[in-house]
Structure 1
């Protein structure tokens, strides 16, 4: 087990910390603090969930279930490994019975309270992850079949929204002919925003942010003009910067409607079972956006297979609807990073002029020509 700078690690490699146990990872990350031991119950740990956990710098993550079950190559364990956070895998249901706040010690895969071992799992190091991922590749065919079936069902229920934009609200922000950036709270969304910061500064697109990604857009700039999803997940500053909010709770609840009304924020509601990310892409497309840049949104087949099936199918179909107007932030960063800034162009031009002047100065008759031009120029300025 690798030692990390943030973990309370004893001399023998034992990690000690209070456990945090919640029914869902969403509830867990709200309470997770640096140095805690996060206890989760997740089959096939995806990248987005792992990034949420890693952002709170726990001492370790203990998963009651296999983080790579064999259904497909889940990317979450690699995220935790790269962040230097130990992952104790397949520790069994006993860890879920630990009382929240109980101090545990972890040595290898053994999890103990005081001197009594309560559970035992497997430490997923680099070699173990590679082996598990290799075996999981065989399960991709089954997952792909399930994904395809789910996509067909999504078309049956949400075809009118996907194909005709039926029921999409008006956001009150001009999008026609504009570049629109859709920021979702997905894997590496903050890093992707940093990668395209020159594009954001030069083009000044309209930003539509989903759920807690509104805070990332506000922190890294530019702030979102339109926010979509559950307003309860968004900070006050992000909401204050928005011109319009689309309240959306695909899994039930009011989605922060009361908060929008209390803040006096211009808002509308959307009734669709599609995810808020899908809704944001469809709003940009229906609004006539010339280019839609997605940040933190699934783009690879593996991303779709690791996401919750319903959400993944909807996002896939929303991307197809947007068609050629859509580009991923990671791709945009590769093609836009080589554009020169204004200061770079001025520096290059100045250097070129100086080089040309030096070349003329050392040529026969060049010095006399430069002196004559200089004399004529100063005479003209003086005469004016």
Structure 2
């Protein structure tokens, strides 16, 4: 075989991928069973960084998206996350791709998706050049999304100003947060790394942890028990639920499965029907209860974050952050600036040990003993003791 033929065969092999299809409209449900080498099949318009990072952590061999990963509304960063992780993305494969049976073997050949020899769908393989071009075009539309975001924020203020400004409608909790450090944990396993980066802070300050939904289990995995759990608790482990002092069952959709489960376990619980995200509700609770510092793990912090996902919910997140103001600190920032805190007793002990070591060293040498003797004589004379 000639060199050109071998190169062509190699290129064909690299463009063909085989794997087990994992299909789900819910990214959370999908990542629970997505394993290295699987092919993830999703249905997400404008793939955001958080979703893409959750997928990338599972190390699939490829991702197939039924919808456009970059629609052009704004330069969302999800496809870039997959590209940096060297995970091919087949874009805009069409709704039929979601009919692939979960667990079946499929093959990606270029931009075609096949099951056996049957063509299931055809999309677009997002190359580096295509991705760069799409992001450049999308950046031109940022002002449109920003205008829509501002309008949603104003609608939110008009509808929920009492909740945002006065805390009216917040559930009552029996945990004292006045003057305490509080950590609001969201985002599931994606933010386990951030917990490790601030472990010195967690050990020394011992903040009260408010976990949003399944984040309570992430905290337990790192030996931290959430004092308060907020959100849909239907799939939160029994261990994490029983470790919490209070569970705030919050599901804007009105589902009562979480409430039924909390009652069945006999845990202390309250409810909230606030039309904001559970993470925003957790921050407002901490702020209203007088927390001195609120550390967030996994919450949005940049403008592009607020333009991704549900514009109405993100408008609430933006205004919640403004309301919490100077008490709010992002975990990524905290990891950069927090330094180990030394207690006064530790400093005193170190000084005492140092002076003791110096005294022993001086007493062990003839010159040192002579210096100690002359110094003692001089001090005694000055004090009138000799």
TM-score, normalized by the shorter chain, greater than 0.5:
yes
| Counterpart secondary structure, 1:12 | helix
Structure 1 residue aligned with 2:76: 74
Q: Is residue 13 of structure 2 the alignment partner of residue 12 of structure 1?
A: yes
Offset at residue 139 of structure 1 (A): 1.5
Bigger shift: residues 245-254 or 81-90: 81-90
Structure 2 residue aligned with 1:211: 213
CA distance in 2, matches of 1:131, 1:213: 36
CA distance in 2, matches of 1:176, 1:136: 45
Structure 2 residue aligned with 1:307: 309
| Counterpart secondary structure, 2:13 | coil
Structure 2 residue aligned with 1:5: none
Q: Which residue, 90, 102, 108 being the options, matches 1:88?
A: 90
Could you tell me whether the CA contact under 8 Å between 2:19 and 2:106 is conserved in 1? yes
Structure 2 residue aligned with 1:51: 53
Q: Which residue, 231, 234, 257 being the options, matches 1:232?
A: 234
Return closer, same or farther for 1:226/1:198 CA change in 2, 3 Å cut-off.
Answer: same
CA distance in 2, matches of 1:358, 1:139: 74
TM-score between both structures, scaled by the size of structure 2: 0.84
Return closer, same or farther for 1:136/1:10 CA change in 2, 3 Å cut-off.
Answer: closer
Could you tell me whether the CA contact under 8 Å between 1:51 and 1:187 is conserved in 2? no
Count, aligned residues: 364
Structure 2 residue aligned with 1:382: none
| Counterpart secondary structure, 2:81 | helix
Q: Is residue 116 of structure 2 the alignment partner of residue 123 of structure 1?
A: no
Q: Is residue 327 of structure 2 the alignment partner of residue 325 of structure 1?
A: yes
Equivalent positions of 1:12-161 (< 5 A) are: 12-13=13-14, 14-161=16-163
Equivalent positions of 1:182-261 (< 5 A) are: 182-185=184-187, 188-261=190-263
Structure 2 residue aligned with 1:277: 279
Could you tell me whether the CA contact under 8 Å between 2:189 and 2:218 is conserved in 1? no
Could you tell me whether the CA contact under 8 Å between 2:80 and 2:131 is conserved in 1? yes
Q: Which residue, 265, 268, 282 being the options, matches 2:267?
A: 265
Q: Deviations over 1:123-159 (max 9, x none)?
A: 3344443333222211111111111111111112211
Offset at residue 323 of structure 1 (A): 1.3
Return closer, same or farther for 1:65/1:372 CA change in 2, 3 Å cut-off.
Answer: farther
Bigger shift: residues 195-204 or 122-131: 122-131
CA distance in 1, matches of 2:244, 2:297: 18
Q: CA RMSD in A?
A: 3.3
CA distance in 1, matches of 2:272, 2:310: 21
| Counterpart secondary structure, 1:233 | coil
Bigger shift: residues 267-276 or 91-100: 91-100
CA distance in 1, matches of 2:148, 2:203: 41
Return closer, same or farther for 1:106/1:134 CA change in 2, 3 Å cut-off.
Answer: same
Bigger shift: residues 285-294 or 28-37: 28-37
| Counterpart secondary structure, 2:329 | strand
Q: Which has the larger radius of gyration?
A: 2
CA distance in 1, matches of 2:239, 2:12: 44
Could you tell me whether the CA contact under 8 Å between 1:48 and 1:186 is conserved in 2? no
Could you tell me whether the CA contact under 8 Å between 1:293 and 1:329 is conserved in 2? yes
| Counterpart secondary structure, 1:222 | coil
Structure 1 residue aligned with 2:182: 180
Equivalent positions of 1:345-384 (< 5 A) are: 365-366=367-368, 368-369=370-371
CA distance in 1, matches of 2:329, 2:307: 20
Structure 2 residue aligned with 1:378: none
Return closer, same or farther for 1:354/1:15 CA change in 2, 3 Å cut-off.
Answer: farther
Offset at residue 306 of structure 1 (A): 1.1
CA distance in 1, matches of 2:75, 2:348: 49
Return closer, same or farther for 1:187/1:122 CA change in 2, 3 Å cut-off.
Answer: farther
Return closer, same or farther for 1:341/1:255 CA change in 2, 3 Å cut-off.
Answer: farther
| Counterpart secondary structure, 1:81 | helix
